[in-house]
Amino acid sequence: MSSEWKIYTKTGDAGTTALIGGARVPKNDLRIETYGTVDELNSWIGLIRDQEIAKHYTDILLEVQDRLFTMESSLARGPGSDDIPLPGLEEKDISLLESEIDEMNEALTPLSSFILPGGNTVVSYCHLARTVCRRSERLAIQMTEQFGVEALNIKYLNRLSDYLFVLARKLALDTGAVETPWKPRK
């Protein structure tokens, strides 16, 4: 970005925006909806990171936020932009989430039923982020059918939603919050 980067350009005033590469599309285009939802997820993760949680979790969440911006740039790629170099996700990004999940799971009791989201604020934020992550994943899958999406993006979102679920459980344990099992009405 140049030092003269302006927040408003007025180019979107008619309801269109540019993809990477310059192609203009309506602001309700599936590509915009998809990377906009990933951006919403990124904001929820920032809110989780702002809570009083262990530094290790904030460090991992900061890494996740960076990966989500990487993903957004990939999702915003338009036609004719293949020659524009963009960062990409790597298998090690997914491996990090998996190792974090495994480590947190060691401290948790196995589940025997679904649990209701909640218990305290940070746990609830994790569950909200998890649901936005699942919505992002559904949109990315839909986008793949229309435009193609790098497979690692979908795999990362799938693993990230798992991570956020386990993080919610681990933070419930760390904060002494009660996990409420779902007991279906008979």
pLDDT 10s digits, 19-36: 888 888 878 989 999 999
Phi, psi of 88 (to 5 degrees): -140, 165
Decide if 21 contacts 31 (C-beta within 8 A).
no
pLDDT surpasses 80 at 125: yes
pLDDT surpasses 70 at 85: yes
Average pLDDT over the chain, rounded to an integer? 93
Residue for token digits 């779902």? 182
- In 3D space, the residue among 168, 175, 182, 64 whose CA is nearest the CA of residue 124 turns out to be 168
- The larger pLDDT score, comparing residue 186 to residue 38, is at 38
Answering whether pTM is above 0.85, one says yes
Annotation: CATH topology of 16-178? Hypothetical Protein Ta1238; Chain: A; (1.20.1200)
